[in-house]
């Protein structure tokens, strides 16, 4: 992977991702098999996962609109969640159910509070009050509110309705199927929407199809291995650092697993493309609620892993619902400034602190 | 009731309602007095109640604007709830307090999730993205949010504030009076609003005043009898079908009791009159919160029925508050599409499933 | 204080405040030291606190834009909370932690439900449907939603997440610091906003700087004494009236402590300046969440008073979150009428009733 020529096929950032990714994967492998201390192994594999995820995203981008821009967008969303999916599957195999639950909710919170807040701060400081009044942003926000709310119902039922407690698994499976059906229903609209909405940072692809598909396949395969090592190092590393499992999932896994979307969203905000930044950032919770979480529920049952249900701990659910309502209201409000961003980041910090203890 | 001539006074749909209603009432009576199996008796009386409710609505419509369009609108709202009121009163007399509570909340949920969702799906598939940005829709949504929130406070107090538990009945009576006062205050505005907003599906009345009032009186009186039979068959039928009382109230009674408003709302959406559909659908929860629920509380106390309080079970309240916030945000967002509708229907299905178990 | 001449320096309302304030302070002092019955002492000191708070506000107003209109606005907000700050400090010294917690939440509820409702009723009856669609009103509403939500997290963590219970004090201190940092960050924007937004009821100052600063100093010093007497009479007066501590804090202290802002907000609405009224009314909860509550937490710890944490009772938190969501939705809706106002007031009445029992 480091034998790249200096042909114009690769720009500088490609080389950083390929070179850095290669080094990180090799180091993560050594750390895993040579029994380096858990914290080092964890950090190295986290960096490797992030760089592989970036490479997956870049490869899909380079496939360009060869499948049409709509299909590319859908493919990008689907493959963008691949590393997080791998990590969660290995974590479920290792019995770390609470970590996975916290990571799923944590991804939503990190997106809606931390990343959205950071995008508002960066965009607001550079470009002043930013307007978000497109039909597209509002539609995404409402879909996000509805899908995350649906995902929260099993937890509400578990906590507030005694007879439902005995049916936690069955109920989660039913809800997972409903959410996946909703996702399937939304695909035609996504495909069509992609076709009309021009991607504001599109450029001509530099890689030919073979190279793009090849790198995509290699990065995906490596991501599976590295995710395994990441999960392996997670528990001992958190023990060494005296961090609770829930906090590890909520903050560490959630941020490592969504690094690229997060960076892209903030970069777009910095460029003043607040509408597009917003769409990228709000799309992630939709993906988690309609695809990642329900898929993991069904996979955990089908493959006999530790059973994942959609019953999250009460404080996770309360923060989840509060966050989606806040994010939706802010979108529908139609404007954002850096102070709103700072408030969102403060909220994220406060929520994360609450989970610092156990 | 089946001796109608083929005079132009009655159009085909009138004949269906009159004829079908007559047959259904007779069958329901036979089922009741001849001790048919509970499930059959229940279904027949449910159909009879629905057709009688439709006849009540049609009669009021035929009274036309003889009392002014505002008064007619108010009359229509008031009489539209008559069958549901009868059913709840008989259910309270039979001690089915949990059924009544679930039916009240279920009517709101059915309207805001199922019917609104169906209207979005039907309207969206036929007419694409629909706009809802009239002042009227927003005002109704905000009033709906406020009135349902007020109705939810006794439940919050009961669940979260120990000293309030001992005063459940007194508190519910006070809140009921406050809600009825709010309703009384809102009447002048309703009367006036009716006077300026032209009903988009108005037509010249075909029935003369005597016929309209006569049918109205007969249908209302029969509705009282049939409601009694309906409640009588409810418990054994649900036992035979192994359905819990809460589910029966939440889904079966709620949908049977609101059948006409529901059908009208969806029909209006199909015709592309999304604003008006929205107003009809959102108006129903306002009626339940400001009139039906408080009236039933006071009636249950005044007439020595099983005491109805406004303390609903925790999951009912959580779903109620979530639904009103979602519906309000969707209205204020100003647009709807069929995917939002499908999400709302999915939410309704998930909530109903949660109550399937006990 | 009653030796004022009839020079044009003082208009009639000045004389009422100065004269009435002087009399009330003297009476409150006599009531305190001569051991009048608690209820009389309480009422007299409440009136004195309110008039002194009014005098503080008037003095700052008379300083005019000598420090620039932005700085004056900030100064006004800061000093406007002075009497409430004094009352809460003395109450904490007296161990009345529950009264202070209820007063903090009660101030928010009183502003968002009672005062906002009253402003809508008064403005709506006088001027019809009022529009609230300025960027400023929306920004203030969103900041209010975010800051109050942040203040609510410790309560959610305490009630829903067992491990956080042991760290109530530490968590509250951390959150208090975060909230104060947010306030500090918001100051430049407030200073700048003040500079561009002309105060619609500005008039040329009548008092010279010396008189304004002198009266400000005297009123502030007296407010400290009278607050002490007020707290002293609070407990026996509530006992005599058989009112619970929580109700006393939630309703009595909250309304007495915010009397001026409340009156100003409603007066502005009566004049048809609904935007400005809205800004004044929504600004108060921001002040409480970002300054008053966190400052009291830190003061209580630093000066060894009864420790104030941000863990409010569950019903207080539920009503708080419900109210901020309702108020924000109403603002973003962009319109208000008197019926919405009446509904808000009904909600306040219902919430207050819930706390009447214990």
- Choose between A172 and C189: higher pLDDT: A172
- pLDDT tens for B32-57 read 998 889 999 999 999 998 888 888 87
* pLDDT attached to residue C316: 95
Domain count, chain A: 1
Q: Return all residues near A51 (Cβ < 8 A) that are at least 6 apart.
A: A17, A20, A21, A24, A25
Q: Which of A80-84, B14-18, B335-339, C340-344 has the lowest mean pLDDT?
A: A80-84
Average pLDDT, chain B: 86
pLDDT of res. A233: 92
CB B153 to CB C313 under 8 A? Answer: no
Which C residues 160-219 touch A at CB under 8 Å?
160-164, 166-167, 171, 174-175, 178-179, 181-182, 185-186, 189
- By CA distance, what is B179's nearest residue in C? C346
Interface contact A138-B334, CB threshold 8 A: yes
The full DSSP string for C165-216 is: HTTHHHHHHHHHHHHHHHHHHHHHHHHHHHHHS--TT-----S-HHHHHHHH
Contact between B164 and C344 using a beta-carbon 8 Å cutoff: no
Q: Is the pLDDT of residue C247 over 50?
A: yes
Q: Is residue B290 part of a domain?
A: yes
Taking CB atoms and an 8 Å cutoff, what residues of chain B touch A185? 339, 342
What pLDDT, in 10s, does the model give residues B205-218?
788 888 888 998 99
Residue C201 lies inside a defined structural domain of this protein: no
CB-CB neighbors (< 8 A) of C129 in chain B: 135
Distance (Å) of CA C121 to CA C118, C322, C343 = 5, 21, 10
B86-90, C36-40, C78-82, C132-136: segment of lowest average pLDDT: C132-136
> C105: pLDDT confidence band, cut at 50, 70 and 90?
very high
- pLDDT(C312) > 90: yes
Phi/psi zone of residue B245: left (φ > 0), alpha (ψ -120 to 50 degrees), beta? alpha
* Residue-level pLDDT at A199: 52
Tokens encoding B92: 């309270």
Q: Is C12 on the interface with A (CB under 8 A)?
A: no
A178-204 mean pLDDT: 72
> Which residue of C136, C155, C161 to mutate against A (max A Cβ within 10 Å)?
C161
Q: Determine the average pLDDT of the residues in A5-25.
A: 80
Does C156 touch chain B if contact means CB atoms closer than 8 Å?
Answer: no
- pLDDT band, very low/low/confident/very high, at B233 (cuts 50, 70, 90): very high
The number of residues in chain C equals 358
In a domain, B135, yes or no: yes
Say how far apart CA B285 and CA B290 lie, in whole Å: 8
Q: The domain that contains B236 carries what CATH number?
A: 1.20.1420.30
Quick one: pLDDT band at residue C2, thresholds 50, 70, 90? Answer: very low
Q: Which pLDDT score, from 0 to 100, does residue C96 have?
A: 93
Higher-confidence position of B132 and B287: B287
How many Cα atoms within 13 Å fall on the side-chain side of residue A101? 22
- What chain B residue is nearest to C346 in terms of C-alpha separation? B178
pLDDT band, very low/low/confident/very high, at A78 (cuts 50, 70, 90):
confident
Residue-level pLDDT at B195: 45
**Overall average pLDDT of the B140-156 stretch:** 93
Q: Which residue of B has its CA nearest to C351?
A: B153
Contacts of B162 in chain C (CB under 8 A): 358
What number is the average pLDDT over the span A193-209? 62
Instruction: Give Cα C166 to chain centroid, integer Å.
Output: 31
Measured between beta carbons, the chain C residues lying within 8 angstroms of A354 are 153-154, 156-157, 161, 164, 171
- Is residue A266 scored above 60 in pLDDT? yes
Confidence at B198, pLDDT banded by 50, 70, 90: very low
Give pLDDT tens digits for A84-117.
Answer: 899 999 999 999 999 999 999 999 999 999 999 9
Total H helices, total E strands in chain A: 17, 2
Q: Residue A319's Cα: distance from chain center in Å? A: 18
Residue C235 near residue C96 (C-beta atoms within 8 A): yes
DSSP 8-state code for residue B2 = -
Q: C67 in a domain, yes or no? A: yes
pLDDT tens string B251-279: 988 887 777 777 778 888 888 887 778 88
Give C150's DSSP letter: H
- Establish if C278 touches chain B: CB-CB under 8 angstroms: no
Domain of C149, in residue numbers: 2-196+206-354
Go through chain A and tell me how many residues it has: 358
Which two tokens mark A155? 């937890």
Residue C130 DSSP one-character state:
E
Choice between A4 and C21, residue whose per-residue pLDDT is larger: C21
Nearest CA in chain A to B337: A139
Residues comprising chain B, all counted = 358
**Would residue A201 count as lying in a domain?**
no
Partners of B335 on chain A (C-beta within 8 Å) are 135, 138-139
pLDDT digits (tens, 9 = 90+) for C4-17: 444 567 888 888 88
Q: pLDDT value at position C68?
A: 67
Beta strand extents in chain A (DSSP E only): 130-131, 335-336
Q: Within an 8 Å CB–CB cutoff, is residue C355 touching chain B?
A: yes
Residue A130 lies inside a defined structural domain of this protein: yes
Query: Could you give the CA distance from residue C148 to residue C244 in angstroms, rounded to a whole number?
Result: 25
Contact C346 B143 (CB under 8 A): no
Task: Give C327's Cβ-side CA count (13 Å radius).
Answer: 39
DSSP state of A94: T
Per cent of chain B over pLDDT 70 is 91
Q: Which site among A138, A339, A345 would you substitute to test the C interface, given the most C Cβ atoms closer than 10 Å to its Cβ?
A: A339
Residue A302 has pLDDT above 60, yes or no: yes
Residue B199 has pLDDT above 70, yes or no: no
Beta bridge partners of A131: A335
For the beta carbon of residue C6, count every other beta carbon within 10 angstroms.
Answer: 7
pLDDT confidence bin for B17, thresholds 50/70/90: confident
Query: Which residues from chain B sit within 8 angstroms of residue A148, using beta carbons?
Result: none
pLDDT higher than 50, residue C198: no
Chains that touch A (3 or more CB pairs under 8 A): B, C
Q: What is the pTM of this model?
A: 0.90
Q: Least CB-CB distance to C354: which of B146, B164, B181?
A: B164
Task: Tell whether C332 lies on the interface with B, counting CB pairs under 8 A.
Answer: yes
Q: What are the helix (H) ranges across chain C? A: 12-33, 38-63, 69-80, 82-93, 97-109, 116-127, 135-160, 162-165, 168-196, 209-241, 245-247, 254-257, 259-270, 274-287, 293-302, 314-333, 338-356
Q: Tell me, what's the pLDDT at B64?
A: 66
Cβ pairs bridging A and B (under 8 Å) = 93
Residue B201: inside a domain, yes or no? Answer: no
HEC states along C213-234?
HHHHHHHHHHHHHHHHHHHHHH
Q: Is the per-residue pLDDT at A262 higher than 60?
A: yes
User: From the CA of A245, how many Å to the nearest CA of chain C?
Assistant: 13
Q: Which of A161, A166, A182 sits opposite B343 (nearest CB)?
A: A182
CA distance C152 to C320: 8
Nearest CA among C55, C101, C52, C60 for reference residue C77: C60
When pLDDT is cut at 50, 70 and 90, the band that residue B6 belongs to is very low
Question: Which chain C residue is nearest to residue B182, measuring alpha carbons?
Answer: C343
Does residue A119 lie within any of the structural domains? yes
């Amino acid at each position: 992977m480091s034998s790249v020529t200096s042909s114009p096929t690769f720009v500088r950032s490609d080389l950083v991702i390929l070179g850095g990714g290669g080094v990180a994967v090799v180091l993560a492998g050594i750390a895993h098999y040579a029994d380096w201390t858990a914290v080092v192994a964890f950090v190295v594999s986290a960096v490797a996962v992030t760089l592989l995820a970036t490479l997956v995203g870049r490869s899909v981008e380079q496939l360009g609109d060869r499948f049409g821009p709509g299909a590319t967008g859908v493919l990008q969303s689907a493959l963008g969640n691949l590393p997080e999916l791998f990590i969660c599957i290995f974590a479920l195999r290792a019995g770390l159910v609470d970590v996975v639950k916290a990571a799923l909710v944590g991804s939503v919170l990190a997106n809606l509070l931390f990343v959205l807040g950071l995008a508002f701060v960066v965009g607001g400081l550079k470009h002043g009050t930013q307007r978000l009044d497109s039909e597209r942003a509002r539609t995404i926000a409402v879909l996000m509110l509805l899908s995350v709310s649906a995902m929260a119902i099993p937890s509400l039922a578990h906590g507030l309705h005694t007879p439902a407690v005995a049916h936690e698994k069955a109920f989660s499976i039913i809800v997972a199927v409903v959410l996946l059906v909703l996702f399937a229903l939304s695909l035609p609209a996504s495909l069509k929407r992609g076709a009309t909405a021009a991607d504001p940072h599109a450029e001509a692809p530099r890689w030919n199809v073979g190279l793009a598909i090849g790198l995509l396949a290699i990065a995906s395969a490596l991501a599976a291995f590295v995710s395994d090592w990441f999960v392996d190092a997670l528990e001992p590393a958190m023990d060494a650092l005296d961090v609770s499992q829930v906090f590890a999932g909520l903050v560490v896994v959630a941020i490592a697993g969504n690094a690229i979307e997060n960076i892209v969203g903030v970069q777009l905000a910095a460029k003043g493309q607040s509408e597009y930044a917003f769409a990228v950032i709000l799309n992630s919770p939709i993906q988690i609620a309609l695809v990642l979480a329900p898929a993991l529920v069904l996979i955990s049952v089908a493959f006999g892993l530790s059973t994942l249900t959609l019953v999250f701990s009460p404080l996770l659910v309360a923060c989840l619902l509060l966050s989606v309502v806040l994010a939706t209201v802010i979108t529908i409000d139609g404007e954002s400034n850096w102070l709103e961003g700072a408030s969102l980041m403060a909220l994220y910090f406060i929520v994360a602190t609450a989970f610092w203890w156990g």
